[in-house]
Amino acid sequence: MKYLLDTNVCINFLRGRTSSLKARFITVPRSQKHLCPVVQAELHFGAYNSADPSAGLEIPRRFLVGFPVLPFDEGAAKKYGEIRALLTRQGNLIEPYDLQIAAIALAHDAVLVTHNIEEFGRVAGLEVEDWEA
């Protein structure tokens, strides 16, 4: 199984938000948990935007080590266009970064792990799991 972790899952894990998330995060092998450049960028933004960026940057630096990365490549770009066109026609567009994350998950046949089920649930064919549920 291949899982793509959404930003909120990473942040909630780092904050120790729920025991169910921590348990699931630990039991799923690291080789099955993937990140993408969009999530990496959002984690770095959070660090740079914190009250103490030098200390804040240490958190993603340690956390990001060893995760396989799923790229926003040509396949993801095509999925992005397809999803955005469909959601635009439906009048049900989602946030742009979430759209990129969804496209990456679909292009790489990954299950998206997120606590934002409502937003990502609008994307047809996207398999999502909430490890905090």
Our count of domains for the chain comes to: 1
The predicted pLDDT at position 17 comes to: 82
How many residues does the structure list for the chain?
133
- Its pTM stands at 0.95
Based on DSSP, count helices (H) and strands (E) in the chain, helices before strands.
7, 4
Q: Which two tokens stand for residue 94?
A: 């989602």
Q: pLDDT tier at 109 (50, 70, 90 boundaries)?
A: very high
The predicted pLDDT at position 27 comes to: 96
Residues in Cβ contact with 86 at an 8 Å cutoff, skipping those fewer than 6 apart: 124
pLDDT digits (tens, 9 = 90+) for 23-66: 999 999 999 999 999 999 999 999 999 999 999 899 999 999 99
Q: Which domain holds residue 116?
A: 3-129
pLDDT digits (tens, 9 = 90+) for 73-100: 999 999 999 999 999 999 999 999 999 9
Tell me the CATH number at 110: 3.40.50.1010
The predicted pLDDT at position 90 comes to: 95
The predicted pLDDT at position 133 comes to: 87
The predicted pLDDT at position 53 comes to: 94
3-state secondary structure at position 70: coil
Contact 115, 9 (CB under 8 A): yes
Residue (of 39, 29, 38) closest to 2 by Cα position: 29
